[in-house]
Structure 1
């Protein structure tokens, strides 16, 4: 057991001190800080910057109502200027960048507002969208006034319809509980997807790197393949948790300083403790299953550039699991979701999705976890045999057919 801890801490410390890991962690940390402070960054570069829009009011009556309508939008950064000149003169002001754009307002055949927007480029739709929304509201006011509706009647007309959802099953989740569960499920599913892909590949690369340096020939004679394989798997897991904790602290602190609560933002502040426990269980089991596969396949190659080629089938399994989970967020009762939740390679994401979104029987969860643990043990047993022989195989990129050769080499 002492040798297992040596392999584990050696893997953890070596990777933790590597320049590539430190650089990536710092870069991702800066990106996390930037994303969580995006509103401040945008405000810094656009501070007090008003966009000037010229208005040619051909009706002679809509400029002031439009300006009043825009004034209700406190976030609007538009400054309107009434212009009495020609369209050609207005176009010249836009081309000279005196104005950002100009708008002509007229009446249509029903005596309701219509407009034409002019700008050097219309790729930025914020200005045009704000003006269009204000004109739409103005048009609604004029149209309802024409048919004799009072402001109270207009408000009543546009009130959202009362639409309640009532579940008839006794233990079915409410709409609020489903929204909270959906936020947690999406966060965990996405985190597991990224976790497995990033650090699974790191495990395969770690094994391939040591193999290419011939260090494996020494290690494999003194440390059992199971100890060595799981030492690397758990070592990389600790490394990933260290990186995740660093990024989480940055993101959580940044969101909190901006007045956001992370769990409230995800809608997960009232999630049951049982669901959180299952989240941890399936997260860890999913990582162990895929990490074992990545480590086994990494032992089959002797060149670092061949790693991605060999682990592609496992990567496709992770991708398939992720896309099925995304589908399941809207259709958790689908037969496809139910069946795949019992398939060990999909269960970490899909069964947890069902736990979060539905009220399923405990025996279903127990079967799924049992199958998952059984698969991990089986993969570890076969993987250890392949691992021991695979790390001693050199030459061109390994194929799946070479697994049999690796097992025979182990027996010898």
Structure 2
């Protein structure tokens, strides 16, 4: 155990101190930071900063609509947008107001076509409307339009209900086994929360990134040690099996360290003042996270990582030169891509036959079961069977990988054929 701990510590510290790891991690963190702040940067560089936006409305043009807009702005308490009233106005005078900075633009209503509601134009110096102004004006004018057409026939609550979008939730028909009505899906099935959908999506992305990045790092480190002949010295003090599993656990901690860094950077960026409004629009409530989804998802995530990590270590032990590593790990990379794409494109159909079949195939079951547990309706016995098959797969492929690793670390020159590898594996017992 002491030797295993020494290998884990050495693998972790040796990796996190390398320049390539530090540079790659910093670049990725920088890209995440830039990506989360792209809307803010676009508004800043394009001059479309909507904070304190003043929009002119002419009372002479449409006094009834102008009054309704002012009333909507007061009720909505939209501090970022303010309507400025003008008793009279012409195009030249309003342009001068824009040039002086008194307003950012103005609304012009054209009822020349004789429609029920006049056509609306927003006039400003910008080539196009920013997303913030467009969203605000669209919601405001939609409410004002309903009030304008009904002419006071509806109350404020009725107008709000009329203009509110209709949300359609997808429900699965359930058999009335437990006494619930078959025509009432909500009697025994709660709607899938958006936060749980996000948890599933994040777990799938993390599984793919961790298995690929840390898996390739494991294979590269084994190959580098083998090509530099350091392996011949290492095996005199530590057995090959301790080396393999020590490297796997050490790299797992490296991947976990990277994930924690990403979580910290994402948390800092979304908590910035200019991003809090965007986050509030999603109306996410962490209390809605289903602990069963989170716990089972993490279990499948960790088990899936160890399955792929053992294979990467075995393949790395067969390669004598780092130049050949990319071609050697290609089959494992393709399998992980298949699992990733099956998961991403099946999130809309968590109870599909494809995912049910994939739940019993160890290489794709981690992703499949994460989706089925988080978004679908999966019986407990299916979860247990999938877990047992996955654990059995880890033991089988772990034993096979250990045999390959034990033999491959001392095979130099060209890559051994299957026949040569089988002969060598028979000579050593695990």
Q: What range is the shorter-chain TM-score in?
A: 0.7 to 0.9
Counterpart CA distance in 1 for 2:89 and 2:164 is 41
Structure 1 residue aligned with 2:73: 70
Structure 2 residue aligned with 1:101: 105
SS at match of 2:122: strand
Counterpart CA distance in 1 for 2:305 and 2:122 is 54
Counterpart CA distance in 2 for 1:109 and 1:65 is 20
SS at match of 1:104: strand
Does 2:366 correspond to 1:348? yes
Among 131, 135, 148, the residue aligned to 1:129:
135
Counterpart CA distance in 1 for 2:348 and 2:98 is 47
Counterpart CA distance in 2 for 1:102 and 1:370 is 66
Cα distance change of structure 1 residues 253 and 98 upon mapping to structure 2, 3 Å threshold: closer
Structure 2 residue aligned with 1:141: 147
Counterpart CA distance in 2 for 1:161 and 1:78 is 26
Say whether the 8 Å CA contact 2:146–2:163 is kept in structure 1. no
In structure 1, the gaps of 5 or more residues are none
Deviations, residues 196-223 of structure 1 (Å, cap 9, x unaligned): 2221222122222223322123334654
Structure 1 residue aligned with 2:184: none
Say whether the 8 Å CA contact 1:347–1:368 is kept in structure 2. yes
Say whether the 8 Å CA contact 2:215–2:312 is kept in structure 1. yes
Cα distance change of structure 1 residues 153 and 366 upon mapping to structure 2, 3 Å threshold: closer
Structure 2 residue aligned with 1:271: 290
Cα distance change of structure 1 residues 116 and 277 upon mapping to structure 2, 3 Å threshold: closer
SS at match of 1:103: strand
SS at match of 2:110: strand
Cα distance change of structure 1 residues 123 and 372 upon mapping to structure 2, 3 Å threshold: same
Cα distance change of structure 1 residues 96 and 251 upon mapping to structure 2, 3 Å threshold: closer
Give, in angstroms, the shift of residue 271 of structure 1.
2.9
Among 393, 401, 412, the residue aligned to 1:383:
401
Counterpart CA distance in 2 for 1:158 and 1:131 is 14
Counterpart CA distance in 2 for 1:304 and 1:369 is 35
SS at match of 1:120: coil
Say whether the 8 Å CA contact 2:56–2:105 is kept in structure 1. yes
Structure 1 residue aligned with 2:17: 17
Does 2:128 correspond to 1:110? no
Say whether the 8 Å CA contact 1:385–1:406 is kept in structure 2. no
Cα distance change of structure 1 residues 84 and 319 upon mapping to structure 2, 3 Å threshold: farther
Give, in angstroms, the shift of residue 97 of structure 1.
7.2
Say whether the 8 Å CA contact 1:342–1:351 is kept in structure 2. no
SS at match of 1:384: helix
Counterpart CA distance in 1 for 2:134 and 2:40 is 24
Q: CA RMSD in A?
A: 4.5
Counterpart CA distance in 2 for 1:129 and 1:382 is 58
Counterpart CA distance in 1 for 2:215 and 2:401 is 15
- Which residues of 2 match residues 41-52 of structure 1 at below 5 A? 49-52=51-54
Structure 2 length as normaliser, TM-score? 0.74
Counterpart CA distance in 2 for 1:99 and 1:51 is 7
In structure 2, the gaps of 5 or more residues are 181-186
Deviations, residues 50-106 of structure 1 (Å, cap 9, x unaligned): 234444667342434333333333335234443855436655776897754343212
Cα distance change of structure 1 residues 79 and 385 upon mapping to structure 2, 3 Å threshold: same
Range that drifts further, 224-233 or 90-99: 90-99
Does 2:203 correspond to 1:200? no
Deviations, residues 142-170 of structure 1 (Å, cap 9, x unaligned): 11118x44545545545677989684354
SS at match of 2:151: helix
Structure 2 residue aligned with 1:314: 332
Range that drifts further, 194-203 or 228-237: 194-203
Counterpart CA distance in 1 for 2:96 and 2:42 is 29
Among 275, 284, 290, the residue aligned to 2:302:
284
Structure 2 residue aligned with 1:297: 315
Does 2:245 correspond to 1:226? no
Counterpart CA distance in 1 for 2:253 and 2:245 is 12
Structure 1 residue aligned with 2:390: 372
Structure 1 residue aligned with 2:183: none
Among 232, 236, 256, the residue aligned to 1:241:
256
